[in-house]
């Protein structure tokens, strides 16, 4: 098993000689693109999480989506066949509310641009959510919600331009839905930023406020972050000094993984949440710039990744390709093209 120190540069995916459910006490699971997409569960998620729970792993759901209160998210999970309580859900609205509470007096009014998830999180921290600048708020908090429109963004812009502190739940540019990839909170934040020229304080993944909120609420001693996004889930694990599992059921592609900078490199990779139930093979340095995993060997040659061998597990080939690509990048060489090798793996 591999333990990651904060800020450590990873040059290859890690290995684990036992199921990840045995190696870690808590899975900190992203939701959108990992457990569900819109109203529907991701394939293999329900049965994989049931097996992980039966193996003794605690499941906590950590999401940058601030639109719904934890009880609503837990209800959605339960309807999908994944039993959950409100206490199992940690969202960026909670992290944002804790951050806002550190900036304003107890009982202060806060202008909300977002949904019920933000309102409930503010009330939990003893603050009063309002929807108009005329109500005298002392800060602005913004999070994703499908209802957010021009008038809400304009009200936020007036408040921010007037000097009020501005906290946003997250800056994810996109969000996976049942119909495909849609604009996320970061896209809406960009509108207010453009109108005001002000940079917000960000609470959600990958930044420290979200990691602190997760640790406070779960009490995890040896957690594993599980996500589909390099720039939030995996970078958040990197910043927090904990291990991570990247699954390919959301926004990240194998080609993006090969090009990942150090802070976006996961400890482990798997097609989907079934990866929680198995170990992870080690990537071996074979010398002369070659790396092996399973029956595959990978290396960089004249700006292109090469692959030889084969096996029944194409993700072993991907692990070997990651080692070759990341090592070449860290050596200061030019970017390597892995498209042909990925096509050979069917990825």
Coil, strand or helix: which one is 68? coil
How many of the other CB atoms lie within 10 Å of CB of 55? Answer: 13
Write the DSSP symbol of residue 102.
T
Decide the pairing of beta strands 166-168 and 180-183: unpaired
- Alpha-carbon torsion angle 41, 66, 6, 215, nearest 10: -90
What are the tens digits of pLDDT across the range 255-291? 999 999 999 999 999 999 999 999 999 999 999 999 9
Establish whether 272 is a catalytic residue: no
* Active-site residue identified among 3, 17, 25, 32: 32
Write the DSSP symbol of residue 134.
G
What are the tens digits of pLDDT across the range 54-67? 999 999 999 988 99
Q: How far is CA 194 from CA 63, 140, 161, 207, in A?
A: 26, 16, 11, 22
What are the tens digits of pLDDT across the range 147-158? 999 999 999 999
Question: 93-202: same fold as 20-64+207-277?
Answer: yes
Q: Which helix (H) or strand (E) holds 200?
A: none
How many of the other CB atoms lie within 10 Å of CB of 281? Answer: 18
Establish whether 30 is a catalytic residue: yes
- Residues 289 and 301: their CA atoms lie apart, in Å, by 9
Q: Where are the alpha helices (DSSP H) in 41-182?
A: 45-54, 70-79, 92-101, 116-124, 150-161
CATH class given for the domain over 93-202: alpha beta
- Alpha-carbon torsion angle 241, 245, 246, 249, nearest 10: -140
Highest mean pLDDT among 1-5, 270-274, 327-331: 270-274
End-to-end CA distance of the chain: 26
**Residue entry with tokens 């990247």:** 246
Is the predicted pLDDT of residue 100 greater than 80, yes or no? Answer: yes
Q: Which of 78, 96, 178 is nearest to 141 (CA)?
A: 96
Q: What tokens appear for 97 in the block?
A: 């509310």
Q: What value does the mean pLDDT of the chain take?
A: 94
On the question of a cis peptide bond just before residue 206, with omega within 30 degrees of 0, the verdict is: yes
Q: Which of 99, 72, 82 is nearest to 34 (CA)?
A: 82
Looking at per-residue pLDDT, the higher value among 76 and 311 belongs to: 76
Query: Which of 38-42, 136-140, 221-225 is predicted with the least confidence, judged by mean pLDDT?
Result: 38-42
- Residues 283 and 267: their CA atoms lie apart, in Å, by 12
- Residues 238 and 19: their CA atoms lie apart, in Å, by 21
pTM for this model (two decimals): 0.89
Coil, strand or helix: which one is 56? coil
Sketch the domain layout of the chain as residue ranges.
Answer: 20-64+207-277, 93-202, 284-345
- The pLDDT, as a whole number, for residue 7 is 46
* Active-site residue identified among 3, 17, 30, 233: 30
Q: The CATH number of 20-64+207-277 is which of 3.40.50.1000, 3.90.1170.10, 3.40.50.1820, 3.40.720.10?
A: 3.40.50.1000
Mean pLDDT of 246-263: 96
Q: What tokens appear for 50 in the block?
A: 């049931």
What are the tens digits of pLDDT across the range 207-217? 989 988 998 99
């Amino acid at each position: 098993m591999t333990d990651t120190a904060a800020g450590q540069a990873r040059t290859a995916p890690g290995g684990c000689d036992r199921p990840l459910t045995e190696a870690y006490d808590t899975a900190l699971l992203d939701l959108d693109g990992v457990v569900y997409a819109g109203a529907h569960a991701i394939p293999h998620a329900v049965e994989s999480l049931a097996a992980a729970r039966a193996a003794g792993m605690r499941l906590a759901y950590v999401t940058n989506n601030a639109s719904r209160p934890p009880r609503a998210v837990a209800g959605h999970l339960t309807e999908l066949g994944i039993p959950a309580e409100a206490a199992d859900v940690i969202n960026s609205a909670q992290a944002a509310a804790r951050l806002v509470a550190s900036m304003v007096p107890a009982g202060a009014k806060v202008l909300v641009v977002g949904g019920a998830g933000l309102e409930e999180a503010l009330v939990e921290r003893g603050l009063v959510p309002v929807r108009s600048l005329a109500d005298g708020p002392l800060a602005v908090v913004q999070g994703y919600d499908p209802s957010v429109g021009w008038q809400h963004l304009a009200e936020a812009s007036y408040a921010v331009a007037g000097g009020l502190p501005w906290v946003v739940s997250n800056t994810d540019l996109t969000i996976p839905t049942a119909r495909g990839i849609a604009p996320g909170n970061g896209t809406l934040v960009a509108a207010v930023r453009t109108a005001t020229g002000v940079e917000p304080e960000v609470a959600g993944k990958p930044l420290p406020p979200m990691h602190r909120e997760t640790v406070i609420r779960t009490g995890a001693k040896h957690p594993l972050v599980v996500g589909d996004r390099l720039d939030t889930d995996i970078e958040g694990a990197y910043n927090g000094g904990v291990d991570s599992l990247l699954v390919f059921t959301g926004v990240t592609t194998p080609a993006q993984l090969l090009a990942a900078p150090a802070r976006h490199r996961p400890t482990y990779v798997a097609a989907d949440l079934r990866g929680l139930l198995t170990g992870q093979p080690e990537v071996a340095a074979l010398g002369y710039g070659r790396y092996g995993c399973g029956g595959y060997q990978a290396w960089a040659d004249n700006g292109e990744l090469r692959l030889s061998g084969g096996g029944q597990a194409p993700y072993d080939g991907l692990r070997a390709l990651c080692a070759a690509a990341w090592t070449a990048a860290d050596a200061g060489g030019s970017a390597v093209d892995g498209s042909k090798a990925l096509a050979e793996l069917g990825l």
